[in-house]
Chains A and B, each alone.
Chain A
Amino acid sequence: MKHTVRGKRSKKRTYSLSTQIAASSGWTARYRNLVLICGLFLLFSALGLFGWFEWRRYGNRQTVQEAIRSAKYGRFSDAEPILRHALDLNSGNVELLKLLALGLIHSHKLKEADVVLSQWCDASLTDAEPFRLRMDLRHNRAMQFKPGDEQERHKELALADGQRVIGLEPNDEATAQKVVWLCLASGRFEEANRICRSHLEHKPDDPELLHLQARVCHSVGDRHEAMLVLEKLLSIRPNFAPGLLILAILHYEANEPDKAIPLLRKLVAQKDGSPKEARYHLSLALAKAGHTEEAKRVMAEVQLLNFERDTAQPGVKDSMAVRVRRAELLFGCGRTEEAIASLQTLLIEDPKNFDAHRMLAIYYDQRGESAKSALHRRRSTRYEANE
């Protein structure tokens, strides 16, 4: 059999098939070993690379183990760099993130802890724990800011974390209560109401939940429901101050000051809860019940508390105006001697202070000392006109 091959170099050369096979066998024999070795080389190289990567992973795990050990059994200050190094190698390792976050929280490095907690939250979206921790952290951070945009922002972030926690773990009562508080503080009454109701289904006698529910009901004007909830709450804990306060306010609003007054007196005497708030409502109830003088005195005490708080703010000097107002409130609280002494000192420094004269005029007028009263009133009018 002949086979004709056409080509540039040998136009009419012919080869027998046997010659072709022989040539082919020679090529195979020459390169067979080389191909085999190359194949083996590639195979073992791949195996080697795989092994090398696994070895690295193993090394990382060893680092993680070491970091975990040092974090669990050593000092956090020593463990922190190791944990951070291990995290560099295993950025999504939840256990490392948790240990680092907890360590940072306990070391009061709250800003750094927030970053690590956020990484943990990102790494375990279905786990409530990091969100719970971050909610507490952010709420604590919010409280560290003075009232301002940053504080509000952190409260909002805390609330969002809390919402996620109760989305993931609907039976987490403690977090639910915190979320309700945050909702109340930010005016989200519908949400607070929903959460309270849902948790009260499981724990119908929980005093704190009942208190929150009563607060929500009162805030949204649902008086009837608030009364029912409070009735239950106070049957469980009769001296629960926040509950008593809401009940007293409800009585006041229902034109029942005589029912409100004993409750509020009790709260003012207890001095727990919100004594200023209790005083304020006591004053309103006393006035409504016709006890005008006592109402005025209690209201003056409330105003003095406001005054002390407000004048402690930055930018308030111990000016004449501030001192006059303090004296005025002292008069109101029945601390007459203090007030008189304060005004007399003030008038030595500023004899033309019309406000101080006005106040003394009122004081002497009330005491029936009309001459003195008239003198101070004249001075007050004259100095005010000259102002």
Chain B
Amino acid sequence: MAHIHLEDGSFTLFFAVAWWVVALALIGIAIWLLRSRYKPDDKKIIIAAFVTAAAFAIFQVQIPIAGGVHLNLTPLIGILTGPIIGTLIVFIVNVLSAAIGHGGWGLVGANVLVNFSEVLVGYLTFHGMKRITTDLFSQAGVATFAGLFVGNIVMIAIILISGIQGVHQTQSQILAGLSLLAAVNMGVAIIEAFITGFIVAYIGKVRPDILSGEGGRK
């Protein structure tokens, strides 16, 4: 979904490194929190492992809609594991994806930030939705819409701040182009919202304990 699909060299070396540094700082904070304050139990680690594998697999599956798109499942990561473990998951998924040529190495940092925003907003919206509804499907569906919408905004912001090398378009032209792209991306969010909604509703029925605690529902 909101995943910067530009080649290495699109960003200057300065910005490629800068986004990496910000992403690594975020990962450092996540690791520190996991070691000091929010030690995950075995159940959470197993869920994280499964979600990582699922997200990596779904990253590589191109759905033939609008010429080809792929899903992320980042809001689902946020809902099931929370934003702290989610930060590590999106980093792993982005590194493994870059290793097989899906996204440039120089863009991993930027993509981690984009995906982190989706995880965080998905998690917060899912919990915020509990005040409005008790229906798990709509909680997760709306959380997915919100997460992916914010992810697209972060993606646009990162590209606008970084600028694209070898391009003579003005910022407003790039913004217009990216806005159209984000709008098409959001169409795919509909599919992702249904998938996430059904998965969360199903888990809520058969294993509600998985949705408890961080990133879950009590």
A binds B: no
